[in-house]
Every structure is written in C-alpha cells, then in structure tokens.
Structure 1
Amino acid sequence: MNDEQSATLAEAEAEPRTAKRYATAPGYRVNVRSGPGTGYPVVRVLAEGARVPVNCQKPGERVSGPYGTTSLWDNIGNGQYVSDAYVHTGTDGYVTVRCS
C-alpha cells in the first residue's frame, strides 16, 4: 500500500459512520434497555412509530415480537439496545456491523 492509499484509508476510517434509521413496530412503545436482554434495566421508552438508528448489532436474549423471534439486539445509542423483533429491518439477519 502506498502513502496515498494509506491516507485515503485513514480518512475513511476517521469519518463517522452514519447509521441507517429503521421504523419500530407500529402500535408499540418499545423498551430501550442498557444491554441485549430483558434482564437489563429500561433506560427509556420509544414513542409509537419511532425511527431508530442501528449503529451495530449483537446477540443476546431470545425475544418474540411483531417481526418474529430473534436473539439479535440493535444498538441505537450509547448503552441503548432494542430487540430486533421490534425493529423493521427487512431481514432476520445482521444489517450492520457486530457490536464489539
């Protein structure tokens, strides 16, 4: 890799990633938890019809909701997770990177 390629790669990694926003299930006020499971405290509740950014995703407790049963949890902010069973991503799998 030459210096120009290295500089371009460094610039791309330095740019903040803009997370795509997804709609939550209509008619539900979705609990936002501090971790990927219902045993974690609720940190806030989303309004019906909220659209949320999915920054990263990670496995956690298996949950059933309007969009199926899944163990996938979506990170929507620092220390804020919602079950993917309540977010319309259009797939049962990952739509972004795994949370570290």
Structure 2
Amino acid sequence: MGVSEHTGDATAEATAGPTAAVVAAVVDAGADIAAAAAGYPTYPIAPGYQLNVRSGPGTQYRIVRTLPYGQKVPIYCQKPGERVTGPYGTSNVWDNIANGQFVSDAYVRTGSDGYIAPRCD
C-alpha cells in the first residue's frame, strides 16, 4: 500500500546531468520548466494537482517548491524510493526534474508504469 500526499487539492513528489544547474537557474527565474528542458521531452502532471518537489525520492525529504496546476516537467533520470499512490497508480519510481529535485512518478503522465529514463546515480 502506498503513501498519498496532498497540498491544497492534491499533491506528491523528484538529480540530473550537466544541464541541471542551468535548468534550475532558469526555473528559479520564473521560466516554464518545459522551456528550460532544452531538448528533453516533458511530461504533464496529473490534471487538477499541484505537485510537491522534494530534495530526494520520498515524502520524508524536504519540499523544495510546489509546481502549479498544468505544469509539464522534464525527466533527466529516475530512481527508486518511497512507494506513493497517486492518480497514475502506486509507484516507487521518483523522477528527477532538476538538480536535487524529485517528484513521484505516480503524479506524472509518462505513459509507462516503469522506468522511461536512465537510473540516477
């Protein structure tokens, strides 16, 4: 059985390659994550959800920020972590969307129940 996390209406959880610092800087400057992804595919967060971005792959990690409704995110790599239940099922896969920023794959529509990106180191 998984953990479900909510912020407002509903919520959940997501290290990266050499472009992570650039992506984080652009995102922090208020740009859309999709524009910051530069060449990486982006995936939508479940409709109607704001998503907590965590410093590691579990709800025990601190919240770095919260993504707004309708946001799309790049996935640089994925790693196993805490099992979370969300609108796309129950999963222990966590998506790395920027340097030190993870979201639960159970809240991201990737079209797969498994890994769609390389495993994070």
- Range class of TM-score, shorter chain: 0.7 to 0.9
Q: 1:48 aligns with which of 66, 69, 77?
A: 69
By percentage of residues, which structure has more strand?
Answer: 1
Q: Kindly report structure 1 stretches of 4+ aligned residues shifted beyond 6 Å.
A: none
The structural deviation recorded for 1:18 is 3.4
| C-alpha distance in 2 between matches for 1:62 and 1:19 | 26
**Match of 2:28?**
none
| C-alpha distance in 2 between matches for 1:41 and 1:74 | 16
Aligned length: 86
- Residue pairs, 1:18-97, within 5 angstroms: 18-97=39-118
Q: Which amino acid is 1:67 matched to?
A: Y
| C-alpha distance in 1 between matches for 2:39 and 2:75 | 9
- State the TM-score, normalized to the length of structure 2: 0.68
The structural deviation recorded for 1:79 is 0.3
Asked which structure has the greater CA Rg, the reply is 1
Q: Which amino acid is 1:48 matched to?
A: Y
| C-alpha distance in 2 between matches for 1:19 and 1:64 | 26
Structure 1 stretches of 5 or more lacking a match? 1-14
The structural deviation recorded for 1:44 is 0.3
Superposition RMSD in Å = 1.6
Q: Secondary structure at the match of 1:48?
A: coil
Per-residue CA deviations over 1:72-92 (Å, capped at 9, x if unaligned) read 000000000000000000000
Over the matched positions of the two proteins, sequence identity in percent amounts to 62
| C-alpha distance in 2 between matches for 1:96 and 1:73 | 11
Q: Secondary structure at the match of 2:120?
A: coil
- State the TM-score, normalized to the length of structure 1: 0.82
